[in-house]
Amino acid sequence: MNTFTLIRRSLRFHARAHLGALLGAAVGSAVLVGALVVGDSVRHSLQRFALLRLGKVDVALASGDRFFRAELLSSRTNSLDNVGVTALQLPATASADGGARRANRVQLLGVDERFWNLAEQPPVFEFPTQDSVVLNRALAEQLAAKPGDAVLLRVPKASRLSREAPISPQEDSSVALRLTVRAIASDEEFGRFSLHASQAPPFNAFVSLPWLQEQLKLPGRANLVLMVMDRDPWALPTATAALRRAWDLADAELELREIPEANALELRTSRVFLDAPITDTALKAATNASGVLTYFVNELRAGDRAAPYSMVTAIGEPIVPRDMRDDEILINQWLAEDLNAKPGDELALSYYVVGIMRKMEERTSRFRIRAIVPMARPYADRSLMPDFPGMVEAKNCRDWDTGFPIALDKMRQKDNDYWEEHKGTPKAFVTLAAGQKMWTNRFGNLTAVRFPPSHPIPLPLGGGEGVRRTGEGAVREAESVDAQTVSGNSLPASPAPASDLANLRTRVRDAILEKLDPASIGFNFEPVRKQALDAVAQAQDFGQLFLGFSFFLIVAALLLMGLLFQFGIEQRTTEVGTLLALGFTPRQVRRLLIFEGGGLALLGGAAGTLGGCAYAWAMLRGLATIWRDASGTSALRFHAEPLSLAIGGFAGALVAWLTIWLVLRKQAQQPARELLAGGGDLNLQATAWKESARSVVEARVPPHPGPLPWGEGESFAAVRQTERGRLVPTPALDFPLPQGEGQGEGEGDMILRRTDSLSAARFYSARSNRSLWLAVAGVILSSIILGAAIFMNRETGAGAFFGAGALLLISGLAFAAAFLTALTYSGAAARPTLSALGVRNATRRRKRSLATVGLLASGSFMILAVGVFRLDSEIDAARRSSGTGGFALIGEATYPVVHDLNSAEGREFFGLDTNDFAGTAIVPLRVRDGEDASCLNLNRAQKPRLLGVQPELLDQRNAFTFAAVAKGLPTDHPWLLLSRSGEGEVPAIGDQASIQWALGKKVGDTLDYTDERGQVFKIRLVASVANSILQGNLLIGEDEFRARFTHEEGYRMFLIDAPSNRVGKISAALSRALQDLGLELTPASRRLAAFNAVQNTYLNTFQVLGGLGLLLGSVGLGVVVLRNVLERRGELALLLAVGFRPRVLRWLVLSEHGALLLAGSGIGVLAALIAVAPAILSAAANVPVRSLALVLGGVWLSGALWTWLATRLALRGRLLDALRSE
């Protein structure tokens, strides 16, 4: 027989004894495997969501409000093998059932059949056609819509000028589309399409691209390109290079046209103002290029006469003389006659500047009239007026839609006649420098760039000196001045030939396209597939998370396995003795047992691998249902990687084997003779000190009818109990006889007593005193902390209470140690009760008893005390220091709000009653879309959403509580740090949880962002706020926001202060007034509760799995009972022999271990109650008292049940036979 055969046969022979240890190893392995499989499943589900939302797309270009040719990067314009699929992507709102059901933040996509070919699974439905729409499943469920139903989509119109500019039209900013639902697109049919990483499906509506272009008056236009690059690692630079080759001026919304009046080419944009990168490039495209800036002014006044609403142009040569000063102005003949003005007079210009939230700030600039120019070329040039929306199509002045109120009473018939005859021909001219000083705004500082075809010929004439200073004379002289002879001006000698203009057009176009980087105006390809996979790879690892949640369960399973294995080995002492007697060395015996345990560990690991799959499935079901707040989705799919199964099974087997090795570390050290006699104890290697120490047991023994078990002729006996746990008969010396009847003893009872070693008593007395002092110190320190916590704020006070509870836990365990130590060698009471005798027996294995108490106390404390970390959004919700910042409501709009809701004008525009909004204030925030960086998004946000805020608005309110401020920065007004720009860095503030967990950063770190001009800049995290409604976002100063993201219009997020008694009314009024803008208002406390629910769900999960661990640990308590009783069968047999009844013995054992169970759970519960006192006493607390009580009650009942069963099993059979080994 070889070693392998011996191990195999031993496993088979002791199969029943090993069953418990095998189950323990299987449970531990199952939890390990299950946690890893949960991580695999979440990761696989996130990756599946990423691939479903992107289909075959590798790179994408989303240009927002810039619309390029739909044929860009098509097969005709693209040199790549893979063409770009273009689409229109717009924000929208949706409603159904007469508005009863609504959805905001809808993604409307105008697509054609090419788009659907990008799906991993070809759709089976018919593509949308005119007046029909395909909804994705999420939006269909939100609207309760099905094929054939009618839905209403509202989409913003494309605006050529920012709606935030005062001269932009206000009315008809959106288009309503009534559509019939044609089909419902599943996730597999590209219904989940989105460029942002999130496990939550978006609201998508798909319509026909040509039809949507027609409805929005965007013929042949798109703003989204999707490209399949076949996983090319160089996909991004390849796509960018293809864009540079394919794009044209029209894609940048630019037009290069001939201006006959000026005999030149002009570059202009339908967006009115040329972007700064375009301006810089265009002015360098030709040596004689000159900028043009035309603006609409409210009034031109000279003395007491004024002309309302006119165009004024800032320009250079040939219209404005080179030597003209910035405080001088040229006026045309019509204006000179109207104002009766002459050279040298003062002229005042009044105009509105482009303010924030359409605030119309009127300013006035004063000039000296240099000269009067005729109504002829080049001055009479209506093309100098840009395509101001609401004006360029107007036939008369009364048709203007300027976005601000026109004082029609100021309009005269002559003004209307001028418009009908000359349209927007400027009435005055200033230098370009003067015009840019007045009218430069964040959208640009030029409305056009002009390119003359040849060098102008200067025509010298005297300055304005020759013009008489009288009004009528000045006009008459101006009338006689030829257009070619204005002082200092120069004009082309003759109209350029058509071929010259054509050549110039080609040269200018090529120069602009060569030098202008598409990224500088927002044409950036993004590697969306790589970003999506990175977001998944860096996401929260649920495997590690559930390993932490299952910590107590794993430890309990391993402890149970170790106890059961050790218990099984202890029953095989004779077998071990036989092996030693046959010549096996202790090392060989230990190796055989370790290999046998390794076999159990391998079997347990294999069984645990299968059980781990079931455990993972149960956890996934929990994440999809009762714990959905933590995952944010119910679509998680089971997925197990073979490597995870192998690692988990091997790790489970390895940990189980290590546990067994620790158990067997001191085995097989006893002599073979002692083991063969069955009296060996494989566990204990008592020291000489422990061998000499004797403890005291006193019991009353009824009269014994027969010979006494310790020998004839001895009327009394003492029983010595060593630290090994053995009872040794000792002759009685000077033991008093019982005192007879009146004191409760039976006649003839004996007193069994053992005496102590004096030195042992002193030793344990000193140890007891140390433990007692530790307990007292802990109680005193805990009391001091509790007293100080009364004067702390809620967050700090909660931490203080938790610390006090932890100290009380340590104090309780120290007191238990002191009690057991003192009881070990203290004298017995004269007449101890049976329960007291059972408690004294707990000192027999003091360390084992203390370990049992400590395990139960620690487990109970942790399960209960984690409740202190439960977050409640209702607590102090109205306080500025709370997570709500003291705000009553938080709102998000689908379309930007460009009016000031804090002003009477803004409220009047939306039809809001100013009186109803008394005491209401709103903090508006600008939004740059990005990924959600809150705990609600399981993916790692690659580019978090940015919010632009006016820091002083939050600083004035002292809103929120700051968790940290970057080193070296002032801490008194943290919000004002947003106004402190560093060198090339933008300061930002975020929520602490978002920074630490969602971004994996800390305060002081930087993130790279790209602005709308393609420039990379750094954002530095200068501070963080504690648990707040700002989760998921990073806040920067509004000035920096507008500088970096010029074309982000208006505000789309709002923090609203409102009187508590009118929150509902204000919410309803705002929602009704701004419903077309897709405003969605949420109580701030509810928003905070949504974030808090994630942490609270994690705590619930920990408590449930920890409770299971404690329940499993209670089984281990039963094993401990069984071990203790079987070790003491000889002692119990002796007690039975001297007259104790079996029922009394059972009570003796139950009282001993029941005391340990009560002590452990009692210490843990009392300490935990102190730790969670703030949560329990809070009026708004939501502590799950019932579930916690059920868990702890289950633990206690389970422990009591297993203790009772173990006692019954140990005391059954012929107990007196155990005396033969004594």
Cβ-based neighbours of 470, under 8 Å, separated by 6 or more: 342
Query: How many domains, in total, are found in the chain?
Result: 4
Q: What are the residues facing 457 on neighbouring strands?
A: 491
Tokens for 859?
């487990």
DSSP 1095-1133: HHHHHHHHHHHHHHHHHHHHHHHHHHHHHHHHHTHHHHH
What pLDDT is recorded for position 946?
Answer: 97
Q: Are residues 257 and 191 in the same domain?
A: no
Inter-CA distances, 531 with 70, 534, 943, Å:
25, 5, 10
Please state whether beta strands 346-354 and 224-227 pair in parallel, antiparallel, or not at all (unpaired).
Answer: unpaired
Inter-CA distances, 717 with 212, 706, 727, 734, Å:
105, 15, 12, 10
CB atoms within 10 A of CB 705: 6
Amino acid (one-letter) located at 109: L
What pLDDT is recorded for position 469?
Answer: 36
**What value, to the nearest 5°, has the Cα angle with vertex 751 and ends 1130 and 826?**
85
**Where do we find the tokens 């044209």?**
248
For residue 912, tell me if it sits in a domain: yes
Q: Are residues 465 and 580 in the same domain?
A: no
| End residue of a domain, out of 221, 247, 273 | 247
> Which SS3 state, helix, strand or coil, does residue 656 take?
helix
> Which SS3 state, helix, strand or coil, does residue 95 take?
strand
What pLDDT is recorded for position 699?
Answer: 43
| End residue of a domain, out of 186, 214, 247 | 247
Q: Are residues 130 and 235 in the same domain?
A: yes
Q: Are residues 362 and 452 in the same domain?
A: yes
What pLDDT is recorded for position 78?
Answer: 53
What pLDDT is recorded for position 949?
Answer: 97
**Where do we find the tokens 């984690």?**
866
Backbone angles phi, psi at 87, to 5 degrees: -155, 170
Backbone angles phi, psi at 1080, to 5 degrees: -125, 115
Number of H helices, E strands in the chain: 35, 36
What pLDDT is recorded for position 751?
Answer: 42
Q: Are residues 282 and 237 in the same domain?
A: no
CA Rg, the chain, in Å? 43
For residue 452, tell me if it sits in a domain: yes
Tokens for 1135?
């007690």
**What value, to the nearest 5°, has the Cα angle with vertex 481 and ends 476 and 484?**
160
Contact 630, 1101 (CB under 8 A): yes
Inter-CA distances, 384 with 261, 352, 482, Å:
10, 19, 21
Please state whether beta strands 490-491 and 457-458 pair in parallel, antiparallel, or not at all (unpaired).
Answer: antiparallel
Compute the distance between CA of residue 1009 and CA of residue 931 in angstroms, rounded to an integer.
Answer: 13
Tokens for 804?
């006090």
CB atoms within 10 A of CB 1161: 23
For residue 374, tell me if it sits in a domain: yes
Compute the distance between CA of residue 1122 and CA of residue 1112 in angstroms, rounded to an integer.
Answer: 16
Q: Are residues 63 and 43 in the same domain?
A: no
Compute the distance between CA of residue 219 and CA of residue 232 in angstroms, rounded to an integer.
Answer: 33
Q: What are the residues facing 136 on neighbouring strands?
A: 185
User: What is the end-to-end Cα distance of the chain in Å, rounded?
Assistant: 36
Compute the distance between CA of residue 1026 and CA of residue 912 in angstroms, rounded to an integer.
Answer: 35
DSSP 178-245: EEEEEEEE-GGGTTT--SS--SSPPEEEEEEHHHHHHHTT-TTEESEEEE--TT-TTHHHHHHHHHHH
Cβ-based neighbours of 362, under 8 Å, separated by 6 or more: 298, 350, 351, 352, 353
Cβ-based neighbours of 72, under 8 Å, separated by 6 or more: 84, 86, 222, 225, 243, 246, 247, 251
Using CB atoms within 10 A of its CB, is residue 1031 exposed (0-12), middle (13-18) or buried (19+)?
buried
Closest CA to 539 of 190, 988, 932: 932
Q: Are residues 951 and 1057 in the same domain?
A: yes
For residue 459, tell me if it sits in a domain: yes
| End residue of a domain, out of 247, 268, 291 | 247
For residue 232, tell me if it sits in a domain: yes
Tokens for 939?
């993916």
What pLDDT is recorded for position 383?
Answer: 92
Q: What are the residues facing 95 on neighbouring strands?
A: 102, 152
Backbone angles phi, psi at 1044, to 5 degrees: -85, -30
Please state whether beta strands 985-991 and 1016-1025 pair in parallel, antiparallel, or not at all (unpaired).
Answer: parallel
Residues of the chain with pLDDT under 70: 1, 75-82, 166, 170-172, 454-499, 567, 570-571, 665-768, 793-799, 824-832, 834, 867-868, 982, 1117, 1126-1127, 1175-1185, 1187-1188, 1191, 1210, 1213-1222
How many angstroms separate the most distant Cα atoms in the chain? Answer: 156
For residue 145, tell me if it sits in a domain: yes
Amino acid (one-letter) located at 669: Q
> Which SS3 state, helix, strand or coil, does residue 850 take?
helix
For residue 900, tell me if it sits in a domain: yes
Q: Are residues 563 and 506 in the same domain?
A: no
Residue 1050 region, left (φ>0) first, then alpha (ψ -120 to 50), else beta?
left
**What value, to the nearest 5°, has the Cα angle with vertex 451 and ends 448 and 455?**
145
Q: Are residues 260 and 208 in the same domain?
A: no
Q: What are the residues facing 949 on neighbouring strands?
A: 1037
Domain that holds residue 957: 889-1085
For residue 1107, tell me if it sits in a domain: no
Inter-CA distances, 151 with 135, 837, 981, Å:
10, 80, 47
Amino acid (one-letter) located at 304: D
Closest CA to 1017 of 1026, 1006, 1004, 1008: 1008
Residue 228 region, left (φ>0) first, then alpha (ψ -120 to 50), else beta?
beta
Query: What is the DSSP-derived secondary structure letter of residue 1213?
Result: S
Q: Are residues 234 and 333 in the same domain?
A: no
Residue 722 region, left (φ>0) first, then alpha (ψ -120 to 50), else beta?
beta
Inter-CA distances, 499 with 454, 506, 989, 1162, Å:
12, 11, 58, 99
Preceding amide of 738 cis, omega within 30: no
Q: Are residues 173 and 66 in the same domain?
A: yes
Q: What are the residues facing 1081 on neighbouring strands?
A: 891
What pLDDT is recorded for position 750?
Answer: 42
Query: What is the DSSP-derived secondary structure letter of residue 1032?
Result: B
Amino acid (one-letter) located at 866: V
Contact 986, 993 (CB under 8 A): no
What pLDDT is recorded for position 281?
Answer: 94
Q: Are residues 483 and 576 in the same domain?
A: no
What pLDDT is recorded for position 490?
Answer: 46
pTM: 0.79
Closest CA to 244 of 254, 233, 252, 256: 252
Secondary structure element (H or E) that encloses residue 645, with its range: helix 642-664
Handedness of CA 1195, 1197, 1198, 1202 (dihedral sign): positive
Compute the distance between CA of residue 1026 and CA of residue 1019 in angstroms, rounded to an integer.
Answer: 20
